[in-house]
């Protein structure tokens, strides 16, 4: 079964989504932290961990391998549920290779835009590869095809790395990612709300209630 993560750094959104009983984890990044109005990565991450008790990804800020490794060591020490997000660059691959050797080396390789990047990240020891579907679609590319190709490559060669569909803009992306074989989807709270809504459900419910009121008097 595909896991469902929330893509946010807003603790209130996490708390609300967790009450639905369908949330498996959370992904954050520096942009989401800024939108949530927080600069305290550790406190926010641990608040989220306390709510979901599942995988929570927090991203490094440094761009050099040594700096990423240093930050990763700190981030991964916070909780057994925390994953470190490392960008798929040459320096990022160097960092992933080192971090993957650690007993707690839980890596979410981020900013993946091609099957070759996903392949390299998996070889470097990433636990997840985050494919940015929406950003590719914004540029006129087929982001979902990258998910499909990555899924096929990982299956063919037996990579244990999980395919995570990220940068999801709407429910069509959700359905596409599920059909493409993504192991994990991470969605904004607004998309999560769209997933559960249908005007037909609302109309049907109101009709049932109206009929019941007639019977019950």
Per-state percent for the chain, helix, strand, coil, to nearest 5 = 55, 20, 30
123 within 8 A of 102, measured Cβ to Cβ: no
Which of 42, 85, 94, 162 is an active site residue?
85
Query: 56-59 and 82-87: which strand pairing?
Result: parallel
Q: What are the φ and ψ backbone dihedral angles of 73, each rounded to 5 degrees? A: -60, -40
Angstrom distance (rounded) from CA 24 to CA 138: 27
- Alpha helices by DSSP H, listed for 53-180, are 65-76, 90-99, 115-123, 133-138, 143-157, 171-180
Q: What are the φ and ψ backbone dihedral angles of 33, each rounded to 5 degrees? A: -60, -40
- The DSSP bridge partners found for residue 130 are 164
Q: Is 85 a catalytic residue?
A: yes
Check residue 33 and report its DSSP letter.
H
Query: Which tokens hold the place of 131?
Result: 């494919």
Q: What are the φ and ψ backbone dihedral angles of 11, each rounded to 5 degrees? A: -60, -35
Question: Would you name the residues annotated as active-site residues?
Answer: 85
């Amino acid at each position: 079964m595909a896991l469902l993560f929330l893509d946010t750094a807003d603790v209130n959104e996490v708390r609300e989504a967790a009450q639905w009983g369908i949330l498996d984890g959370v992904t954050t990044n520096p942009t989401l932290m800024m939108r949530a109005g927080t600069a305290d990565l550790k406190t926010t991450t641990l608040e989220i961990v306390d709510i979901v008790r599942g995988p929570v990804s927090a991203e490094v800020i440094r761009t050099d391998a040594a700096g990423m490794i240093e930050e990763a060591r700190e981030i991964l020490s916070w909780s057994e549920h925390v994953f470190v997000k490392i960008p798929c660059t040459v320096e990022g691959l160097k960092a992933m290779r080192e971090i993957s050797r650690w007993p707690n080396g839980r890596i979410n390789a981020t900013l993946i835009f091609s099957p070759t990047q996903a392949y390299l990240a998996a070889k470097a020891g990433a636990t997840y590869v985050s494919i940015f579907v929406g950003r590719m679609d914004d540029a006129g590319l087929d982001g979902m095809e990258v998910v499909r190709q990555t899924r096929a490559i990982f299956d063919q060669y037996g990579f244990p790395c999980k395919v995570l569909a990220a940068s999801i803009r709407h429910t069509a992306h959700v359905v596409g990612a599920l059909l493409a074989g993504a192991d994990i989807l991470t969605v904004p709270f607004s998309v999560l709300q769209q997933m559960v809504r249908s005007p037909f459900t609302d109309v049907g419910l109101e009709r049932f209630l109206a009929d019941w009121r007639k019977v019950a008097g």
